[in-house]
Amino acid sequence: MARDIRTDTYLGTVVHVVADRQNRPNLPIAGCPFCVGGLEAPEQYSVRSFPNRWPALEEGYCEVVLYSPDHEATFGTLTADEALSVVNLWAQRTQALREMPNGEYVIVFENRGAEIGATISHPHGQIYAFDHVPPRPARMIAAGWEPAAASGEHVILERYENYFMEGLPYLDRIVMRILPDESTRAIALESGELQMSGFESNPRNIVRLKKNDALHVSSEGYAAIGPVNWLAFNTKGEKTSDPKVRQAIAYAVDREFINKALNLGTAPTALTGIHPGSPFYDATVEAYDLDIDKANALLDEAGYAKGSDGMRFALSVDYGWPAMKPYAEYMKPQLKKIGIDVAVRSSADFPTWAKRISTWDFDMTMDNVFNWGDPVIGVHRTYSSDNIKEGVIWSNTQQYSNARVDELMEMAGATNDANKRKELYAEFQQIVANELPLYPIFASPYHTVSSTSVGNAPDSVWGTSSPLDRVYLK
């Protein structure tokens, strides 16, 4: 078989099968063809395009674009000027291919990695021109899609008549508007301009919207996503390596105050790293209810006596994005009560915070981590001793390690017996609540806000991340 055009049975769309591409030379033996002096780049260049000798599509045109003469570079390592040269070349070649007789549609893309068949590691991508607009972009254009700059950002979902469930979906079309500003969204909900919004998490806005009779405000729909907010400890830190220090801090932090005063009662309490909406949640773990005397006693026991100024030692607390700031700032006056001098450390941007935390350059940090349905997906990663990975945020950045905890997670991940799993995760939660690599505080106050004119507003465990196929307008 060489080349074949087939039809996707479910979507009715065209699929190109290009089996003869398997016969192309894989990694050329005579060195890299894209390095200067190689087969495809005889002359010096900074960026370069040329026709692909081994195009995946028979129809249309295919070009290869070289991003840099440096064999080790990637698009991400280019300087801004070098990247701009690549973008300019894309624009120029897109224009040129559009002007060719069959250049109805032009797409710029890059495949990387031997795993998917891109065997030459030299930084390069492709430009393909087709003699027709492919079906999906054609449908997007027919549904009114325009480039963002012209129309404001939105995504249009259209009812699919061959949807696999009879009679669904109910709605003909959903326009998803991208409104990053939470106040703008609140106003649009109040004015009726928006019928529904998910993941609303500003406590003040939630309280305000709840007072509006034309709106339904619900915290249902986030149990599977399972966002848990906690104070994480570096368990290899000089002071925070001692479980007594971590427990003392937990006793000094007033979870109830945080949930009442900072979250205005909009966020569920979380006592463990498993979301309270999960069937595996164990509410019987040590809760570390506020107890300043006990906290002070634990620090004395740990050998950190108070100095003449009432202080014992200093620690820093990080936060990675603005919503986490109030919780980090709360730690300073609160932990002063037990003689810990806390410095609140902000980061210029998310990558700066992620790098600090994932290279273990921290004492404590506020964090928000998602369960993603099953604990195997979103919970194990935080505690598993083989997931202590330098440079990887939301791995086991606490550097916590306990052989029994590893064993419990492995057993719970290897059985489908729900009761057995519940038992294993209960023991797991009891151990980590005692050793306390992190102190869970609350589940994010995510809410779905919908107009009372919306029927079947999504309230399953996946909420607005579910198909929305039963939602209708009254």
Instruction: Give kind and range of the element (H or E) at residue 145.
Output: none
Judged by CB under 5 A, the stretch of 69-77, 283-291, 325-333, 376-384 that binds Zn ion is 69-77
Which residue of 21, 71, 332, 470 would you call a contact of Zn ion, by CB under 5 A? 71
Min. distance of Cβ 71 from Zn ion in angstroms? 3
Min. distance of Cβ 33 from Zn ion in angstroms? 8
Which residue of 34, 280, 319, 330 would you call a contact of Zn ion, by CB under 5 A? 34
- The whole-angstrom separation of Cα 335 and Cα 328 is 11
Total residues interacting with Zn ion, rule: CB under 5 A: 5
Q: What are 5's strand-pairing partners?
A: 16
Nearer to Zn ion, 32 or 57 (CB): 32
Min. distance of Cβ 117 from Zn ion in angstroms? 18
Check binding of 67 to Zn ion (CB under 5 A). Answer: no
- Do 371 and 378 contact (CB within 8 A), yes or no? yes
Rg, the chain, Cα only? 28
Min. distance of Cβ 203 from Zn ion in angstroms? 54
Judged by CB under 5 A, the stretch of 28-36, 106-114, 256-264, 429-437 that binds Zn ion is 28-36
Min. distance of Cβ 72 from Zn ion in angstroms? 8
Which residue of 18, 21, 28, 32 would you call a contact of Zn ion, by CB under 5 A? 32
Judged by CB under 5 A, the stretch of 3-11, 66-74, 336-344, 397-405 that binds Zn ion is 66-74
Q: What are 129's strand-pairing partners?
A: 61, 106
Judged by CB under 5 A, the stretch of 13-21, 71-79, 384-392, 422-430 that binds Zn ion is 71-79
- The whole-angstrom separation of Cα 296 and Cα 251 is 9
Give residue 286's identity as a one-letter amino acid code.
Answer: E
Nearer to Zn ion, 47 or 457 (CB): 47
Helix (H, G, I), strand (E, B) or coil at 88: helix
Min. distance of Cβ 31 from Zn ion in angstroms? 8
Alpha helices per DSSP H over 315-400:
325-336, 350-358, 375-378, 380-383
Beta carbons within 8 Å of 67's beta carbon, 6+ residues apart? 47, 73, 74, 75, 78, 82, 86, 123, 124, 125
Judged by CB under 5 A, the stretch of 64-72, 150-158, 353-361, 453-461 that binds Zn ion is 64-72
- DSSP code string of 17-41: EEGGGGGS-SS-SSS-TTSTTBTTB
Min. distance of Cβ 91 from Zn ion in angstroms? 24
The sign of the CA dihedral 194, 197, 200, 206 is positive
Nearer to Zn ion, 35 or 292 (CB): 35
- The whole-angstrom separation of Cα 401 and Cα 404 is 9
Q: What are 41's strand-pairing partners?
A: 38
Compose the 105-144 pattern: x for residues touching Zn ion by CB under 5 A, - for all others: -----------------x----------------------
Nearer to Zn ion, 28 or 198 (CB): 28
Could you list the residues that contact Zn ion (CB under 5 A)? 32, 34-35, 71, 122
